[in-house]
Structure 1
């Protein structure tokens, strides 16, 4: 990147001069554009809230104005491309992108490079070749296969502890259904694959009764689960959901069908969103995998400030392969729930 001088220092100097002259003029503004794939997604909303809070703290610390502008792509890559174009055309200083289509990052990277504006992708990982097109492009997120492994381990541990709790049919085989995110999305594929692979590696036989795409959405998951309950009844012993919103949708369907919390299948999700943690506390969600929203937001802000300060990215965050900031997943159950609820 060509930005070698501290951007914060460049804008802060005239602000100090103005205050010294007693003109009462406002300090200059740093503009941060945040392009979201879908702002209604519970996890993305949580990350966004954390981002806004942390940038406000930086604003107070530095004595300048940091303007964070959010744009909702509404699950359309063409809409998101237009939003990124507006950020660049209006001279934004850094852009953060939760990309709609992970295979479409090249266009955004090339435009950011042309404008010499750093771009930080987060939570939805671009194709590696696209990210490597320019040194000013980075990614902050978590490895999707690890989420699948931990989710599978939650079920495997519960089976080993008390097989009868899950094995309602008594056949020694776990009958499950799978609620999947977007078709073809990397998180969908890896979370699905590795959750079941973990069961197999642990010696647990399993049988998939049904699987369907619910696009990360609670309502769609509830509709799917309602259909399966009508078809399969009590044969469903476990529900794997690629995220918490879909897990909560499955719970909604079960409760609407008249089940008590004790009668629900063993349902697990991913993200550890606030509503999901409440469901764990209630005993309807048996476990989830914490996707570190606060950690992602903190890394994005630290990386943004380092780049605007003219510092190397590695001075602010731990980078892997010069491009990636990886946050760890953590399994959440009723036993360790409180530490995560307190961290909200």
Structure 2
């Protein structure tokens, strides 16, 4: 758009000058040669369009949320009319590395990478170095890479969400729901809410992250509570002790944000903090590796030790993704719970996949956090279009998107999703 505006103004200037001169038309044409000048201006103002051949590298085709991103991104890239190929790393970083090197050798001139290994900087840095040597732009997306990696190459950037936001939004959603329905959720009437928590994966690049819980002016808290009626109005600032997340030993900061934010909302409502169903589990979480099957198995085991009709039932299910939440729902279904009718406990997820949206509507889940697949795909497509137009991959991004201060990273916002009241 800026180029065409510049071109229009240039045309106007040239012809205005031509109309204002007192020289004879023959002399004017001979001396100014506006046609030749305009052709030169077009070449300077509008760079030659580049034939883009993109490689889109996915950490695992089986990931439910990323399947929705892939469908959306395929549509966007088809609309742009570029050549592209999708690659499945099947959760193996070494395989993804080989795929990228092979793609570049076969003429790919744009890398769009959903990296496998987020536990260390080396994997993303290696891909960035490969892109630099080949002189091709690289757009990382969805799975976080370190700022230092992005800053190491001028043609590298990232599109994704702020890791902690999903956890903060989910914690606020859960805390408010429990506070408003406390007596109904407290199945054994002991005054406490027992929960099970399924995190995504163990290992992250956050080696020293601090979680500060602050509800005052928090965007998700403000947006969520302003449209609700039964909520305490007093805001509470709580700063938790510093939590150090050690790679390969802890889940990421998104996972670690959920319970502190939930407990902050409960404290504000004068309710006790959540208690983990298994007192022997000092971590107070179990990794599901984003897998519905793994989550189903974990939940089945938990229900065998803490049956729903026993003295210490599980009263809330929290999962870092919808597939894991739905795996827990299936295990509950086998016990006659969360079928959409009758006995139900709150189940919460993240991603707001189509299956989760249906489960929420049917009353099998309470809520999820929307991570917009369409928004992510559209943002990536805008950057691809820059490359097509011969511009820098990140050109104009700061003016249009929510961009980090310290690196070329675009943040796509989340949204709390629950069943709408009739």
1:10–1:299: structure 2 CA closer, same or farther, 3 Å change rule?
A: closer
Deviations 1:82-107 (A, max 9, x none): 01111211121211110000221010
Query: How far apart, in 2, do the equivalents of 1:143 and 1:127 lie?
Result: 12
Q: In the alignment, which residue of structure 2 is the partner of 1:252?
A: 330
Alpha carbons 2:52, 2:388 under 8 Å: kept: no
The answer to whether 1:315 aligns with 2:354 is: no
Alpha carbons 1:6, 1:310 under 8 Å: kept: no
Deviations 1:169-214 (A, max 9, x none): 2233221001111111469422321110012212141111243111
Q: In the alignment, which residue of structure 2 is the partner of 1:9?
A: 48
SS at match of 2:48: helix
Q: In the alignment, which residue of structure 1 is the partner of 2:162?
A: 143
SS at match of 1:91: coil
Q: In the alignment, which residue of structure 1 is the partner of 2:415?
A: 330
- Aligned pair partner of 1:303 in 365, 383, 404: 383
SS at match of 1:311: coil
Unaligned runs of 5+ in 2: 1-43, 207-250, 279-284
Alpha carbons 2:185, 2:345 under 8 Å: kept: yes
Alpha carbons 2:349, 2:367 under 8 Å: kept: yes
Alpha carbons 2:290, 2:324 under 8 Å: kept: yes
- Aligned pair partner of 2:252 in 189, 196, 201: 189
Q: In the alignment, which residue of structure 1 is the partner of 2:317?
A: 239
Q: In the alignment, which residue of structure 1 is the partner of 2:301?
A: 227
Unaligned runs of 5+ in 1: 12-28, 60-65, 338-344
SS at match of 2:297: helix
Q: In the alignment, which residue of structure 2 is the partner of 1:116?
A: 135
Q: In the alignment, which residue of structure 2 is the partner of 1:20?
A: none
Give the drift of 1:32. 1.0
Query: How far apart, in 2, do the equivalents of 1:6 and 1:199 lie?
Result: 53
Deviations 1:9-56 (A, max 9, x none): 345xxxxxxxxxxxxxxxxx5311001000110111110110110111
- Provide the aligned C-alpha RMSD in A: 2.2
Give the drift of 1:7. 10
Q: In the alignment, which residue of structure 2 is the partner of 1:133?
A: 152
Q: In the alignment, which residue of structure 2 is the partner of 1:37?
A: 59
Give the drift of 1:221. 0.4
Q: In the alignment, which residue of structure 1 is the partner of 2:247?
A: none
Query: How far apart, in 1, do the equivalents of 2:155 and 2:320 lie?
Result: 31
After the TM superposition, which residues 145-294 of structure 1 pair with which residues of structure 2 at under 5 Å, given as runs? 145-185=164-204, 188-202=251-265, 203=267, 204-210=272-278, 211-234=285-308, 235-259=313-337, 260-261=339-340, 262-294=342-374
Query: How far apart, in 1, do the equivalents of 2:325 and 2:205 lie?
Result: 19
Alpha carbons 1:34, 1:71 under 8 Å: kept: yes
Q: Which has the higher helix share?
A: 1
Q: Which has the higher strand share?
A: 1
Q: Tell which deviates more after alignment, 214-223 or 123-132.
A: 123-132
Query: How far apart, in 2, do the equivalents of 1:286 and 1:8 lie?
Result: 51
Give the drift of 1:218. 0.5
Q: In the alignment, which residue of structure 2 is the partner of 1:97?
A: 113
* 4+ aligned runs moved over 4 Å, structure 1: 5-8
Length-normalised TM-score, structure 1 = 0.85
- Aligned pair partner of 2:101 in 82, 85, 106: 85
1:186–1:226: structure 2 CA closer, same or farther, 3 Å change rule?
A: farther
Query: How far apart, in 1, do the equivalents of 2:45 and 2:371 lie?
Result: 32
